[in-house]
A and B are shown apart, each in its own frame.
Chain A
Amino acid sequence: MPEPPLLGVAALDAHYGDFQALFGVSLTLSRGEVAAVIGANGAGKSTLLNAIAGLIRSRHDAILFEGEPIGDLPANRIVGRGIALVPEGRRLFPSLNVEENLLIGGQIGRPGRWNLGRIYELFPVLAERRRQASTSLSGGQQQMVAIGRALMSNPALLLCDEISLGLAPIIVRDIYATLRQIVGAGTAAVVVEQDIGQALAIADRVYCLQEGRVALEGRAGEVTRADISAAYFGV
């Protein structure tokens, strides 16, 4: 029997009250793969990540992880299964210092390669600032903490929601170089981005959302810019 894909999203609908944000979205990801999810503002990209992470509940079998249905599990149980979200806007805990932000990410105690020491090796600047308030860091450093915090739970799947948002291009390049190291070590990832160039460069597969539906999907090397423009704007 073939091994099930790491993540299988099948005909996922998502609602905010009466408003439906996702319509029958399907997505498949194998172990160690990276999927880029692109699309205009309001296309449902963040909603998709929030649904996978459990912040939005969905149908029991709409999301399968390692072959098991997790669609209706709450977020605090999903992280223990091995899915970690780097939320949009970083969302560090302001009353926790840098190290406490990292430690709380690892408090579920899921075994794996990541620990405080490894995170400090990955982002040496954080080790220097471990006792500082997370709010005193630059945007790029805060993003490092947010990524480190997610890694501390030793995820098999890392969900990154617009990690380039509001950062200088040179910082974005560094962050993506680090992300490449992380996925290179075997962690799968779903990367939501407005910056299509960064997203396509790191991804194996690309999904383009438009108004809550998958408008385009394919291998990252095979979709053309023209395909993307068409799917992006629906023209």
Chain B
Amino acid sequence: MTAWLNTIAQGVLVGGLYAMFAAGLSLIFGVMKLVNIAHGDLIVLAAYVALMVTDALGLNPILSLIVVVPVMATVGYLLQRGLLNRALGEDILPPLLVTFGLSVILQNGLLQLFSADSRRLQAGGLDVASVKLAEGLSLGVLPLLQFALAVLVIAGLHWLFYHTRLGRAFRAVSDDPRVAQLMGLDNRHVFGLAMALSLAIVAVAGVFLAVRTNFDPATGPARLIFGFEAVIIGGLSSLWGTLVGGILLGVVQAIGAEIDPGWQVLAGHVAFLAVLAIRPQGLLGGARR
């Protein structure tokens, strides 16, 4: 019994990481209807940035976020203004292809710079520390921190979307980009800020990913799939849905792995397909934006 409880608890905590993968994707899709195929590779890029920062400054990976988050946010803004805005338009296909190309470029660029060796960030004891809740049930400090941050990120995004000027601008531009210009909004700038925010979240996700598991330049696409699945399970355009989707995906994967280690990823895909078949709008989709 406690073994299962343990499995589910670990799954929930991993779900927080998936929710962070998903929140950045969902944000971009919500604001500019852009499906960012390079999202997973940007997570891996953030992990490498964190690697360089920790190597250069000797910082703990968690502290390195102070540098990695603003760096990735800047990358996001420049990427949007310099490249993606030029591809956005009535047709959703060109930006999709551009981000696909970007994904290939990022993977190969990272391969050139860092080789195919798999790397990992050392969190100096924090990565193995745990809290014992009961006999046979203990939770890692790092996963707990990661989950708490995921909840904080999504609550923060929700607050930003519904209670700030910037959030109002995001929603207006998403609703009707043409009329939004009549309100004095520069869509290109608003999109740039949305991508900056998305990559700030990617930075957090990338650092936690890099502490949790090994990464190499080719690990991006799998993160993208998990992010997509969490978004679809939770419901497109629902921020809290990404958390629900992430948790469900994490739990199902953990249960799958418990039954047979080979079933971990497969179980997630099956859950995703089941949601798509039974409730295509997602668990929280359609209820509230």
- Chain A residues within 8 Å of B, Cβ to Cβ: 53-55, 74-77, 79-80, 84-85, 87, 91, 93-96, 100, 103-105, 107-108, 149-150, 153
Contact = CB atoms under 8 A, between A and B. Distances in A.
Given A55-B181, A55-B182, A80-B184, A107 B171 contact: no
A141 to B, nearest CB: 18
A103 B168 contact: yes
Contacts of B132: none
Interface in B134-182: 165, 168-169, 171-172, 174-176, 178-182
A53 B168 contact: no
A85 B175 contact: no
Given A87-B179, A107-B165, A93 B172 contact: yes
Contacts of B168: 96, 100, 103-104, 107
A19 to B, nearest CB: 17
B184 A79 contact: yes
Contacts of A75: 181-182
B232 to A, nearest CB: 20
26 contacts: A53-B182, A55-B182, A74-B181, A74-B186, A75-B181, A76-B182, A76-B187, A80-B184, A84-B182, A87-B182, A91-B179, A93-B171, A93-B180, A94-B175, A95-B171, A96-B175, A100-B168, A100-B171, A104-B172, A104-B183, A107-B169, A107-B185, A108-B183, A108-B184, A150-B182, A153-B183
Given A103-B168, A107-B165, A95 B175 contact: yes
Contact of A95 (B174, B178, B179, B183): B174
B289 interface: yes
A74 B178 CA distance: 11
A79 B184 CA distance: 6
Interface of B: 165, 168-169, 171-172, 174-176, 178-187, 289
Contacts of B172: 93, 96, 104
A55 B186 CA distance: 12
Contacts, number: 63
Nearest to B165: A107
Contact of A85 (B174, B182, B185, B187): B182
Contact of A76 (B171, B176, B185, B289): B185
B183 A105 contact: yes
A105 B165 CA distance: 12
Contacts of A74: 181, 186
Nearest to B289: A95
A55 B183 CA distance: 12
A81 to B, nearest CB: 10
Given A96-B168, A100-B168, A91 B184 contact: no
Contacts of A80: 184
A104 B169 contact: yes
Given A75-B181, A107-B165, A93 B176 contact: yes
A184 to B, nearest CB: 24
B179 A76 contact: no
Contacts of A94: 175
Contact of A79 (B165, B176, B182, B289): B182
Given A95-B289, A104-B169, A107-B165, A76 B175 contact: no
A16 B289 CA distance: 34
B182 A107 contact: no
Contacts of A96: 168, 171-172, 175
Q: Shortest 7 CB-CB distances between A and B: which pairs?
A: A108-B184, A75-B181, A93-B175, A91-B179, A79-B184, A76-B181, A95-B171
A96 B184 CA distance: 16
A153 B176 CA distance: 18
Nearest to B189: A76
B289 to A, nearest CB: 6
With most chain A CB atoms within 10 A of its CB, the pick from B168, B178, B181, B183 is B183
With most chain B CB atoms within 10 A of its CB, the pick from A53, A76, A79, A153 is A76
Nearest to A105: B183
A55 B175 contact: no
Given A75-B182, A93-B180, A108-B184, 7 more contacts: A53-B182, A55-B178, A74-B186, A76-B183, A76-B184, A95-B175, A107-B183
B176 A91 contact: yes
